[in-house]
Structure 1
Amino acid sequence: VERSKGRIRADVAHRKLAPLGYEGSERTTRRAVAGAKRAWRAGHRRIYRPWIPEPGMWFQWDWGAGPRVREKDTLLFCAWLAWSRFRVVLPTLDRSFQTLVACLDATLRRFGGAPIYGLTDNEKTVTTEHVAGIAVRNPELVEVSRYYGVTFASCVVADPESKGGSEATVRLAKADLVPTQANLLPDYPSFSALERACSQFCLEVNERPHRETRRAPAEMLLEEQRCLHPVPKAPFTAAFGETRSVSFASTISFGGVRYSVPHQLVGERVWVRRHGGEVVVVHVDPAAGPVEVVRHALSTPGRPRILEEHYPPRPPGPLARAPRAASAEEAAFLSIGEGAKAWLIEAAAAGAPRIRSRMAEAVSLAKLHGAEAVDRALGQASAAGRFADGDLAAIVAHGEDGELTRPREDHSLQPGTAAWGALR
């Protein structure tokens, strides 16, 4: 029991005792091993002491596996302000250092200030190595620490219990945000949908009373903000990459390749960097801090990466323009119905003469026979290519019983040319 640190099985102990001359039954061995385990655990039990945090002192963060969105794995950045129990959950596509800085900035801005210490795991973005049990900080994170005025610490290696607050936040976030058979959540259609779900989750958990304090974390945050020091107005952008200005075509140039960004960012400054086989574009919002706006697959010069969702709907081209009234007469004609619009488009394409006079005639006929009958006649006239004088009135008079016909290619009023053969 001592050698196995209280983990040895009773049947294994019995097999080792039997060759040594032990004649007792296996049941007796089980009782003896169980008693020895209880005695060993009593002397080696981990002692827990309740942690009573001070306002404005600590916050913790951790990462959790998020749902798959459009065949891509996502991650959940989960932060927890210790005294008020205020939680922040942000979805990301990676856990790189640049993404970590963006998440930390957004988290501190949601807190409304920066606490003194931040606690997390021993990832390479935080700790480069351990020397004699002392964690060596990532030099880039040290710059971030000085910029925001937060001292970053890491928990004991392989000991998640030393940061239980963030572990609980990850557990709650995964239970409510990752689709499983237990919560029956549907798959997320887009990354934006996951962002909205995370925002809604944070709103719910921060507005309801916490079982430990019996108060809502959002309410306690208002008190804790008095103990937080201000967050710099500008985010720490040195880690986000190179700056680019968004052109009037909603594109940026990076590595000789044009990449599209949302059209709302025209004229704005963005940060762009390469991450593996992707190009990541970040925009710094004055209120929300740095926000990742798009990820493109890395391309080569001459092969731009343009996404249709970055642009508003295309305006109608020369073949799809719809009639728009510019005068009272035109408005009266177009108000007849869809047949009037179709007639105008076809008549204009056919180069029909005196279109305006025929439009006035259609308005007069609509007053006599009703707009519905004239609209139907205009539709038939446009389909048959009849734009001459009197055609519309004839179709209206003929009613619905007439058969729609078009001039055939093999029929013509042109006389034959057989007589030309006599000419020498």
Structure 2
Amino acid sequence: MRIDNEKTAISRGAGAWGVINPIYRRYAPTMKFHIDACPPRQPQCKGKVERRVRDQRLAINPYGRSYASLAELQQWTDARIEILSHERRCPATGSSVAQAWAEERVRLTRMPETLPEPFDLVATRQVGLDGLVSFEGRQYSVPFPLIGQRVEVRGTAGQVQILKACDVVATHPRATPARLVIDQAHYDGPSSEHVLAPPPLGRLGARIQELSQAPVAHRSIDLYAALAEVAR
């Protein structure tokens, strides 16, 4: 991705010596693109791209025409672009722009089914022996096969996402009153090649967990009054 040195992408410096915004740096591998910042004061490094934008704007000029609706304007614009794509030549291949684009599309990386959520904080953490990672003063569980490995933790709006190799492996609510946030499912399953599965809870442990998750029973004061009368 050839970019200029705007502050949302380059936090300090410019070009090859610039410091990439850490959040943007982590967004790039998630979307599988490389960041290539333009050298400062070198307009020729991006001049070809900007010239194509100018050519496109001048060739598709809607002024001086009347359109009955936006749909009619869109139809004229699409037809004009289609004609130009067959007339213009791609400098890299020598074929028409339409043919070069058709050949390039099959080689492009597909967009992920779900776009990554915007995040305002990112950190790299090592998963502890207890299958937990620390983030913002709290500990969050991850699938136990990742014990000992480094993962990426992102703070999104209302959620904490934990990623490994750019894939989300765990999500938890963010900024909860609890300082220890655990998903029991992260400790279930067979052993991996490098990590043994944790021992099961057993009947007593499973029962205690079931009781801890049960809602509190609400009883009327009349029930306790009746019980007191029986006790007499």
State TM-score, norm by structure 2.
0.40
Q: TM-score, normalised by structure 1?
A: 0.24
